Amino acid sequence: MAPNPTTSTRQPLKLLMLHGYTQSGSLFHAKSRALTKHIQKAFPLHEVTAIYPTAPIRLLPTDIPGYEPSSEGGSDNEIESYGWWRRSNTANPPLYIGIEEGFAAVARTLKEEGPFDGVIGFSQGAALAAMVAALLEPGRKASFEHFSKISADGAAGMTIPALFGEEGFQHPQLKFAVCYSGFRAPGARYRAFYEEPAIQTPVLHVLGSLDAVVEEARSRALVEACAGEPEKDGLVVWHPGGHFLPSQRPYLDATVRFIREQMERSNGSNDKGKEVEEDVNDMDLPF
């Protein structure tokens, strides 16, 4: 039987989708439906696949800001809420408890489902996306070796996450990262992700001008940790909303345009595809 040209000739475009704090892979899948549909329609010559791992840390009610238990009672373990790490409220400088588990979960996904072309994350997942992009860059291991020997603010730098540092771990550098409501991990412990060198992977930052969850200064710190001049290069996009993934057409188009530029740059391809009109008004939901 002759191969089906619609499947045999389409190039893969694989996306790693990292959800935010208190979410899950399945919930982020639902919340990002407009975005992934827009990407799929914009790349008709590619087989677009989005993989949504769930973070390994199951959160308790005390971990969730504003959580109010049901009057009907029930077990705390029934809460379907996850995080890539917990932030310590007592450590100074700040400490991300369980971050090694988060990185291990991502490393397993990279190994089992990869290779990935890019990563898209929201909030805590966006912070993680930038760190994962940095980890996969050539030479980043030397950054961790350098900063692990430096003690600043009373804390030595974090060593490279275990699975990423293993001799047999292999995954190519990502072609791009898209960070919605992202931020830089604070304090001296995590400098190796962002310094010597700065993040080299192209990153698009999509930020809400009314975001009351992630302070603008924290998002700008991540922007400044990326190589070049992201704002001058059009890699910082503001939407007039709060802490959610915007679904209005201009912001979906901005992401598609960015991904297309990076794919063409990496693949040397002249295939530009053709965007298809889509009604995305039904996905303007807060996270």
Is 38 in the active site? no
Coil, strand, or helix at residue 14?
strand
Structure tokens at 181: 């409501």
> Of the given ranges (43-57, 142-156, 227-241), which has the lowest mean pLDDT?
142-156
Q: One of 24, 81, 123, 143 is an active-site residue; which one?
A: 123
Query: How far is 22 from 58, CA to CA, in rounded Å?
Result: 9
DSSP string, 49-107: EEE-PPPSEEPPGGGSTT----TT---GGG---EES-EE-SS-SS--EETHHHHHHHHH
Q: How far apart are CA 265 and CA 174, in angstroms?
A: 12
pTM of the model: 0.87
C-beta separation of 152 from 188 below 8 A: yes
- Name the 3-class secondary structure at 228: coil
The residue whose two tokens read 């980890």 is 135
Q: Is the peptide bond before 115 cis (omega within 30 degrees of 0)?
A: yes
Which residues is 50 bridged to in the sheet?
Answer: 15
Range 185-190 average pLDDT: 92
Report the alpha-carbon distance of residue 265 to residue 118 in Å, rounded: 13
Indicate whether 63 pLDDT > 90: no
Tell me, what's the pLDDT at 284? 33
Average pLDDT, the chain: 87
Q: Does 211 qualify as catalytic in the annotation? A: yes
Distance CA 253, CA 260 (A): 10
Kindly name the residue from 24, 181, 243, 247 that is annotated as catalytic. Answer: 243
Phi, psi (rounded to 5 degrees) for 244? -160, 170
Q: Give percent above pLDDT 90 in the chain.
A: 70
Catalytic residue among 38, 211, 219, 239: 211
pLDDT score, position 120: 98
205: annotated active-site residue:
no
Q: How large is the greatest C-alpha to C-alpha distance in the chain, in angstroms?
A: 66
Kindly report, residue by residue over 93-139, the tens digit of the pLDDT.
789 999 999 999 999 999 999 899 999 999 999 999 999 999 999 98
pLDDT tens digit sequence for 211-246: 999 999 999 999 999 999 999 999 999 999 999 999
Which residues, including other chains, have CB under 8 Å from residue 22's CB and lie 6 or more apart?
59, 63, 64, 81, 82, 83
121 neighbors 180 (Cβ within 8 angstroms): yes
| Average pLDDT estimate for 263-285 | 50
Domains of the chain: 11-62+78-283 (3.40.50.1820)
Instruction: Tell which wins on pLDDT, 64 or 205.
Output: 205
